[in-house]
Amino acid sequence: MDENINEFLSQYITDNRKELFDRVLNERTKYISVVLEDIYQAHNASAVLRSCDCFGIQDVHIIENTNEYTVSRDVALGSSKWVSMHKYNEHENNTLSAIKKLKADGYRVVATTPHTNDVELYDFDVTKGKAAFVFGTELTGISDIVKQEADEFVKIPMYGFTESFNISVCAALMLQHLSHQIRATNVNWQLSENERESIKFDWLKSSIKRSEAIIEEYKRRDI
């Protein structure tokens, strides 16, 4: 990542904006990632994005098998500009492709569903390595492929009659706990310098009018 281009673009935003970017980047993490499998309700999709942004989760992996992932601006409140969305939609069933990619990148794939081998959220060990938490579709939950390929299973303890939380509520509860836990341990949860610069570049592009033209100007100057 060319740090000089970020310095060049930064002259087009205010000092307050620069300070905000740096402060938020200090709290961002890729140690915990979210995976959404075939979510079809826009308000749920958007609420999860908003929770990811609020709790410092940078990467959201979106599996589109039957349903296309759509964002409701009124619910997301601009969070789609700040969170990195990675979509898997090239095949009839994209779940296995997503899982293979995450495991290749060093993630434990954690299914969010009651299971014979599950642990409760408060007993989940964040120190064992990076983890990608898979949330399934609103009606049927995670697919059989996720259940077969998951490395671990986790559930939120519940004490009422209802058997499950809405997906956006479930994600928010889990992310609040996990974001607190990684900060309370000695795991290396923060972004690398290269990751910081890459994300900052994306944020600058989305914040500056005619950013593509400005980037072309920078490239001409650099030649």
Which CATH number does the domain housing residue 114 bear?
Answer: 3.40.1280.10
Structural domain count, the chain: 1
Strands (E) across the chain are located at 32-37, 59-63, 84-88, 108-112, 119-120, 131-135, 152-155
pLDDT for residue 75: 73
Domain region containing 174: 29-217
**CA 45 to mean position of chain CA atoms:** 12
The reply to whether 1 falls in a domain is no
In the block, residue with structure tokens 């030649």: 223
The reply to whether 107 falls in a domain is yes
Q: Which tokens go with 11?
A: 């002259």
The reply to whether 222 falls in a domain is no
In the block, residue with structure tokens 């290396």: 188
pLDDT at position 163 over 90? no
pLDDT for residue 162: 82
pLDDT at position 116 over 80? no
Percentage of the residues of the chain whose pLDDT score is greater than 70: 97
Q: What is the pLDDT of residues 135-154, one digit of tens each?
A: 998 778 899 999 999 999 99
The reply to whether 4 falls in a domain is no
The reply to whether 172 falls in a domain is yes
Indicate the range of 78-87, 131-140, 186-195, 212-221 predicted with least confidence.
Answer: 212-221
Percentage of the residues of the chain whose pLDDT score is greater than 90: 68
Interval 119-125 mean pLDDT:
95
Q: What is the pLDDT of residues 5-48, one digit of tens each?
A: 999 999 999 999 999 999 999 999 999 999 999 888 888 888 99
Interval 94-121 mean pLDDT:
92
The reply to whether 3 falls in a domain is no
190: region left, alpha or beta (phi > 0 left; psi from -120 to 50 alpha): beta
Residue 176 CB neighbours (<10 A): 13
Interval 217-223 mean pLDDT:
75
pLDDT for residue 137: 84
Indicate the range of 62-66, 71-75, 94-98 predicted with least confidence.
Answer: 71-75
pLDDT for residue 223: 56
Average pLDDT, the chain: 91
Q: How far apart are CA 123 and CA 103, in angstroms?
A: 22
Question: The whole model's pTM is what?
Answer: 0.92
The reply to whether 2 falls in a domain is no
The reply to whether 5 falls in a domain is no
pLDDT for residue 72: 77
CA nearest neighbour of 120 among 153, 142, 151:
153
